[in-house]
Amino acid sequence: MANPGGGTVCNGKLHNHKKQSNGLQSRNCTKNGIVKEAQQNGRTHFYDKLIVESFEEAPLHVMVFTYMGYGIGTLFGYLRDFMRNWGIEKCNAAVERKEQRDFVPLYQDFENFYTRNLYMRIRDNWNRPICSAPGALFDVMERVSDDYNWTFRFTGRVIKDVINMGSYNFLGLAAKYDESMRTIKDVLEVYGTGVASTRHEMGTLDKHKELEDLVAKFLNVEAAMVFGMGFATNSMNIPALVGKGCLILSDELNHTSLVLGARLSGATIRIFKHNNTQSLEKLLRDAVIYGQPRTRRAWKKILILVEGVYSMEGSIVHLPQIIALKKKYKAYLYIDEAHSIGAVGPTGRGVTEFFGLDPHEVDVLMGTFTKSFGAAGGYIAGRKDLVDYLRVHSHSAVYASSMSPPIAEQIIRSLKHLMGMDGTTQGLQRVRQLAKNTRYFRQRLQEMGFIIYGNENSPVVPLLLYMPGKVAAFARHMLEKKIGVVVVGFPATPLAEARARFCVSAAHTREMLDTP
């Protein structure tokens, strides 16, 4: 349950939030497990999802050893750079030619220093080649390095049946071919592999129209438009919605695609603290009161950018409070549901369903098909006039290639599976199994004493490792145990918050999750 200080009580222990705001602000009260939100604009909203998230701080000695590790690594890095400059040690990194020595250095910055002296030592833990479908189990091609991870060579051995804890295969729909995929095979035979055109030219197929109608029905909105690439769905559509004279308020932990889209738009960008509605409200209030810099004119639009489930933190957006603020200050809300659609909510319809809210409360619903649906691409959904506007003005619609027909059919198959239109309840069972697996896996990790981040209902489970040496040792040890994990460090995370990121799937069995 929540406590007034902003911490969270989990398994009888109090976890202080280091980066998270107080999820239930002082104007809210908790009674009988129901959160009652104060009246906003004459309306009172009720929702029954208690926001339980844990961002436990590391013990002091762990942080001391973490910074000591980076400090020692930095000192040895400078020593090795000195030896490389004098030819004592061979330099494998990219360097300027002798003719360019008087130029401003192209490669010499801190990130390159970090890459040479730390990342390369543990590089074998990333980009591991997979040679099977990314189901609950997969096969990994073994590789070794003879030059400290600057180059790799394959041994010819395949590590079979590695437990997949790294893919975003939340519902287990990314799997080997079986009879249920026959429609995809039929579409491949009729339409081929690709469209070779943009949506505006010869690239709109009946399959795209069928998919868009199905997405709109699934989300319970007026219309939807699909795109061939999830990353571009954000980066190429945000500039079509806002521009110069507009204000974007972005969560500090938003995905790079949202950040890039905001920058490309030319709008003014201001950052609020992660999931902190007090920080957001201050920015909204200042925007309304002071307007644009220098001219003090009112902003043309104010757009709030958030995610449904944050892929590095495992937290879920505090959607009810944010919707209340966007109504109060007449702003627009854009929500990226890449990791929440299909994975969160009683029937997999995302965070609006998770909180029991009307999807029409969100102005722009965005999501991808690369996670829960086992496919590729993304969508924008909402009001029909919004979607019609994007069909004309979206850079993805004008310049990007259309979604491949077999991919579209895979998404159609997945949606029908979730909606029960295939005549079974297996889709709903997958959503429920994912929720069970998520809660069980998080509970087991906490019982084992690990520090994990995020919401108790998030299938993305970050496990904090902190120390740089631990990152490599953990990933290598897991592979020896035939468990495939993703480890993440700087610059994708803060320097002292390296972690392993587990992704739970409905396809995981209890035995897999219990594997020591």
**DSSP string for 456-504:** TT-SEEEEEEESHHHHHHHHHHHHHTTEE-EEE-TTTS-TT-EEEEEE-
Tell me, what's the pLDDT at 104?
Answer: 75
Relative to beta strand 247-251, strand 223-227 is unpaired
Instruction: Determine contact, residues 432/223, Cβ cutoff 8 Å.
Output: no
Is residue 214 over pLDDT 80?
A: yes
How far from 115 is each of 102, 143, 324, 489, 498, CA to CA, in Å?
Answer: 23, 20, 44, 12, 15
Measure CA 414 to chain center.
20
Rounded percentage of the chain residues whose pLDDT exceeds 90: 75
Residue 516 structure tokens: 């020591």
State the average pLDDT over residues 169-196. Answer: 94
Token pair in block for residue 52: 């339980």
pLDDT band (50, 70, 90) for residue 87: confident
Using CA atoms in the order 253, 254, 259, 260, what is the torsion angle rounded to 10 degrees? 120
pLDDT at 185: 95
Residue 111 has pLDDT above 50, yes or no: yes
Residue 29 has pLDDT above 80, yes or no: no
- Listed in order, the ranges of the chain carrying CATH 3.90.1150.10 are 53-164+424-515
Give 8's pLDDT tier (boundaries 50, 70, 90).
Answer: very low
Identify the band that residue 108 occupies on the pLDDT scale cut at 50, 70 and 90. Answer: low
Residue 222 confidence (pLDDT) above 50? yes
pTM of the predicted model as reported, rounded to 2 decimal places: 0.87
Catalogue the long-range contacts made by 126-131 (C-beta closer than 8 Å, 24 or more residues apart): 126/487, 128/479, 128/484, 129/154, 131/158
Round the average pLDDT of the chain to a whole number and report it: 88
Start-to-end C-alpha separation, the chain: 30
Gap between the Cα atoms of 516 and 509, Å rounded: 14
Query: Residues 444-470: what's their mean pLDDT?
Result: 94
Q: How far is CA 342 from CA 18, 366, 425, 489, 513, in A?
A: 29, 13, 15, 27, 21
Look up the CATH architecture of domain 180-419. 3-Layer(aba) Sandwich (3.40)
pLDDT tier for residue 49 given thresholds of 50, 70 and 90 = low
Place of tokens 């750079």: 81
Within the chain, all domains assigned CATH 3.40.640.10 are found at 180-419
- Domain 53-164+424-515 in CATH: superfamily? Aspartate Aminotransferase, domain 1 (3.90.1150.10)
Give me the pLDDT at residue 93, please: 74
Alpha helices in 99-172 (DSSP H): 110-117
